[in-house]
RNA sequence: GGGCACGUAGCUCAGUCCGGAAAGAGCGUCGGACUUCUAAUCCGACGGUCGUGGGUUCAAAUCCCAUCGUGCCCGCCA
């Protein structure tokens, strides 16, 4: 609805400015501050003042006079306040919003008939997922949800680095050492916790063992890498033995968030099918290609990148970026757009990748990268190899435990003694605990550095997931109390939507809530265009504030509420419910029916 | 040394891309509100040279330049 109103305002302003012989290149449309009663505003009068030879307020009224609000559907009136033009919403605007938002899929934009692949996480299968990387699945999943909501056909990929040296080291270690050689028991009964001990053991061995022993090990590691490079099945099977087990465990961890994938794309795929070899041949043909210091490289300084891109070693083995180029060309064939969620330390590689893809003749317009900075511990970086860091599983467990305590504590002093059974407590503990972790991460701009601290990550107070989730629970409570099914469209239920009249929603709290609901699709659109899910989180907070104000001032089910007002408010609650449920689903945060 | 990012209230952050209406939240502190559709809520108070210095503009947290501080990158690792 907001999108229609904005379109209407734009065209009305443009017409008015043309009629007055003013330029229309900048309409100065903006959202007014909170204490102003309009939904949209324009500061165009400032810009025109010079040309008009009149002070801005005078220009503003001239423009306002030129627009006939009666001809507009969603605008009731245009008022000037000093130099500003304010567009007030019409009854039809609120009416339509209320009607549209009572549908369960409110906020989902029209199908764009465009596909996009969102690649995220793609952590090396070396061990348990730690919190340092946790931003990736959480942001990535939200970006994918957001694009899905914005009308794209979305696939989620995890790119598996199963061809690098680290995987050869891992495979060698797994085949070489026995349980007896390892230190300690697995921290959890899952394959990645078991196998990571071999990985750490192998790396420690390479650092500390005597020179001849290390040389033997290196020879074995080298042979695995050569086997992979040649695309031979035996080497692939050996590495897969490790990779598939570890990946299975990591998958289970990520599923807890939940972050699910449509496909796990293995790097070795592009070595086995010959794509990497073809790509190397094409790279060698480029003007930028040089053979220098016993390796094939690309000189990219003419394209603003100082660092050469090495794409083939002297022994003819490829490197990660080489395979990633083949991988991306494959993505371009399969999808209209490709989004990658990457740690900020990959910024340079991302630039090299894009530039090289262009040199190879690809159109990279549909390729976009979302960069985020790592979560560090107060004492420094987290590392799988060194075993420093907090496992994501532990964080989630702790979050759930704390949430459970919280639920139980609150049960004691609840006013309404509703029947929360053990299952409900467990459900709420999971929804709130995991929701809080996700929300805390997804609500911040990815470029900001985060230092992990338990207390902060697990704060259930306001401006966190539970604050927003609580609004959803309140909505469901009211709807269910009224005998309605909170999960479904209102249409077809025991509410006569035809007779619901937005006119009856006349308090400022009701109107502001409805205006906030109206903005939701526009927020989805902008967040999707910018690939910024945190905008959705920001919106949920504003929304929750508005809903709580409504909740405080406007009883829905009380005896003394006029039946027609009650129906209208019920419709508003249903609209609120769908809005907050859908916003939370974009963020990947559960929306509890009760808390 | 070069490149990129970040710096807004004691703390954690919105707002910055696309300049506009006396800078907004939460936490913390202090003081209030549960016979009411769930108090994980709400109301009020205190708290700001938007790192610093210049510039552009009718207008700068927002754009430009410089500078300081912090993080990341500058591997034939991934």
Determine the protein residue whose CA lies at the shortest distance from the C1' of B76: A313
3-state secondary structure at position A574 = helix
Residue whose entry in the numeric block shows the structure tokens 């909501």: A149
Determine the protein residue whose CA lies at the shortest distance from the C1' of B22: A33
Protein-proximal positions, strand B, CB < 7 A: 2-7, 12-15, 17-18, 20-21, 24-28, 34-43, 58-59, 70-78
C-alpha span between A565 and A506 (Å, rounded): 10
A550/B30 CA-to-C1' distance in Å: 27
Query: Do β-strands A40-42 and A29-30 pair in parallel, antiparallel, or remain unpaired?
Result: antiparallel
What's the pLDDT at A503? 87
Determine the protein residue whose CA lies at the shortest distance from the C1' of B4: A347
Q: Residue A457: which residues within 8 A CB-CB, separation 6 or more?
A: A395, A399, A436, A437, A440
What's the pLDDT at A51? 84
Residue whose entry in the numeric block shows the structure tokens 């330390």: A345
What's the pLDDT at A496? 65
Strand nucleotide closest to residue A373 (CA to C1'): B72
Q: Which residues of chain A have pLDDT under 50?
A: none
> Where are the extended beta strands (E) located within A329-454?
337-343, 367-372, 375-376, 450-451
A494/B35 CA-to-C1' distance in Å: 31
Q: Which of A350, A348, A341 is closest to A371 using CA atoms?
A: A341
A415/B39 CA-to-C1' distance in Å: 9
Using only C-alpha atoms, chain A has a radius of gyration, in whole angstroms, of: 29
A87/B20 CA-to-C1' distance in Å: 16
H or E element at residue A499: none
C-alpha span between A192 and A126 (Å, rounded): 7
Cα A60 to the chain's mean position, in Å? 40
Q: In this predicted model, what pLDDT tens digit does every residue of A209-264 receive, in sequence order? A: 999 999 999 999 999 999 998 888 999 999 999 999 999 999 999 999 999 999 99
What's the pLDDT at A488? 75
C-alpha span between A156 and A147 (Å, rounded): 11
A81/B75 CA-to-C1' distance in Å: 61
DSSP class per residue in A154-200 = EEEEEEE--SSHHHHHHHHHHHH--GGGS-S--SSSSHHHHHHHHHH
Half-sphere exposure of A456 (CA within 13 A, CB side): 8
Strand nucleotide closest to residue A41 (CA to C1'): B21
A293/B50 CA-to-C1' distance in Å: 50
A275/B64 CA-to-C1' distance in Å: 46
Strand nucleotide closest to residue A409 (CA to C1'): B40
3-state secondary structure at position A367 = strand
Tell me, what's the ipTM? 0.96
Strand nucleotide closest to residue A35 (CA to C1'): B21
A520/B73 CA-to-C1' distance in Å: 38
A346/B72 CA-to-C1' distance in Å: 9
Q: In this predicted model, what pLDDT tens digit does every residue of A76-91 receive, in sequence order? A: 999 999 999 999 999 9
A394/B32 CA-to-C1' distance in Å: 40
Strand nucleotide closest to residue A462 (CA to C1'): B26
Helix axes A422-442, A135-149, angle to 10 degrees: 90
Strand nucleotide closest to residue A416 (CA to C1'): B38
C-alpha span between A15 and A18 (Å, rounded): 5
C-alpha span between A205 and A500 (Å, rounded): 74
H helix intervals, A260-384: 269-272, 275-285, 320-334, 347-359
Strand nucleotide closest to residue A293 (CA to C1'): B76
Strand nucleotide closest to residue A348 (CA to C1'): B73
A57/B22 CA-to-C1' distance in Å: 19
Tokens of A87: 């567009």
Looking at the DSSP assignment, which residues form a beta bridge with residue A337? A116
What's the pLDDT at A414? 61
Determine the protein residue whose CA lies at the shortest distance from the C1' of B5: A447
Tokens of A260: 């699910």
Q: Are A437 and A396 in contact (CB under 8 A)?
A: yes
């Amino acid at each position: 609805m907001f999108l229609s109103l904005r379109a209407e305002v734009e065209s009305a302003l443009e017409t008015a400015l043309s009629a007055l012989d003013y330029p229309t290149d900048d309409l100065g449309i903006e959202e007014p501050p909170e204490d102003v009663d309009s939904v949209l505003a324009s500061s165009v009068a400032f810009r025109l003042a010079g040309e008009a030879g009149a002070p801005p307020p005078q220009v503003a009224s001239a423009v306002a006079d030129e627009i006939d609000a009666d001809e507009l559907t969603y605008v009731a009136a245009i008022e000037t306040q000093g130099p500003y033009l304010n567009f007030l919403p019409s009854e039809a605007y609120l009416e339509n919003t209320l009607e549209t938002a009572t549908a369960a899929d409110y906020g989902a934009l029209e199908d764009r008939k465009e596909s996009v692949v969102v690649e995220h996480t793609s952590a090396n299968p070396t061990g348990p997922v730690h919190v340092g990387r946790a931003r990736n699945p959480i942001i990535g999943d939200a970006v994918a949800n957001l694009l899905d909501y914005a009308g794209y056909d979305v696939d989620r990929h995890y790119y598996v680095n199963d061809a690098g040296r680290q995987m050869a080291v891992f495979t060698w270690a797994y085949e070489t050492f026995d349980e007896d050689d390892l230190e300690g028991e697995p921290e959890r009964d899952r394959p990645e916790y078991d196998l990571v001990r071999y990985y750490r053991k192998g790396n420690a061995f390479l650092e500390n063992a005597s020179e001849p022993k290390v040389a033997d090990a290196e020879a074995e590691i080298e042979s695995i890498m050569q086997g992979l490079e040649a695309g031979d099945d035996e080497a692939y099977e050996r590495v897969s033995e490790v990779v598939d087990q570890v990946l299975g465990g990591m998958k289970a961890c990520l599923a807890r968030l939940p972050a699910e994938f449509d496909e796990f794309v293995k790097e070795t795929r592009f070595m086995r099918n010959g794509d990497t070899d073809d790509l190397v041949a094409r790279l060698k043909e480029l003007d930028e290609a040089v053979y220098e210091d016993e390796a094939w490289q690309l000189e990219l300084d003419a394209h603003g990148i100082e660092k050469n891109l090495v794409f083939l070693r002297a022994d003819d083995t490829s490197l990660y970026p080489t395979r990633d180029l083949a991988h991306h060309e494959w993505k371009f064939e399969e999808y209209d757009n490709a989004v990658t969620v990457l740690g900020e330390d990959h910024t340079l590689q991302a630039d090299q990748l894009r530039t090289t893809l262009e040199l190879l003749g690809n159109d990279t317009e549909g390729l976009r990268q979302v960069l985020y900075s790592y979560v560090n511990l107060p004492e420094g970086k987290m590392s799988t190899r060194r075993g420093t860091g907090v496992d994501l599983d532990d964080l989630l467990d702790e979050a759930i435990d704390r949430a459970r305590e919280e639920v139980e504590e609150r049960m004691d002093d609840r006013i309404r003694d509703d029947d929360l059974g053990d299952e409900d407590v467990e459900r709420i503990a999971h929804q709130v605990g995991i929701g809080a972790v996700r929300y805390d991460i997804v609500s911040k701009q990815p470029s900001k550095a985060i230092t992990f601290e338990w207390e902060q990550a697990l704060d259930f107070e306001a401006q966190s997931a539970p604050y927003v989730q609580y609004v959803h629970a309140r909505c469901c409570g009211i709807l269910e109390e009224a005998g309605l099914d909170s999960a479904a469209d209102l249409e077809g239920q025991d509410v006569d939507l035809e007779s619901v009249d937005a006119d009856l929603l006349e308090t400022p709290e009701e109107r502001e809530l409805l205006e906030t609901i109206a903005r939701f699709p526009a927020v989805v659109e902008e967040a999707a265009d910018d690939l910024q899910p945190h905008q959705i989180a920001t919106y949920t907070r504003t929304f929750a504030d508005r809903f709580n104000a409504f909740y405080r001032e406007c009883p829905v089910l009380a005896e003394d509420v006029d039946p027609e007002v009650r129906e209208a408010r019920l419709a508003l609650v249903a609209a609120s419910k769908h809005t907050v449920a859908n916003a939370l689903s974009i963020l990947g945060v559960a929306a509890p029916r009760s808390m």
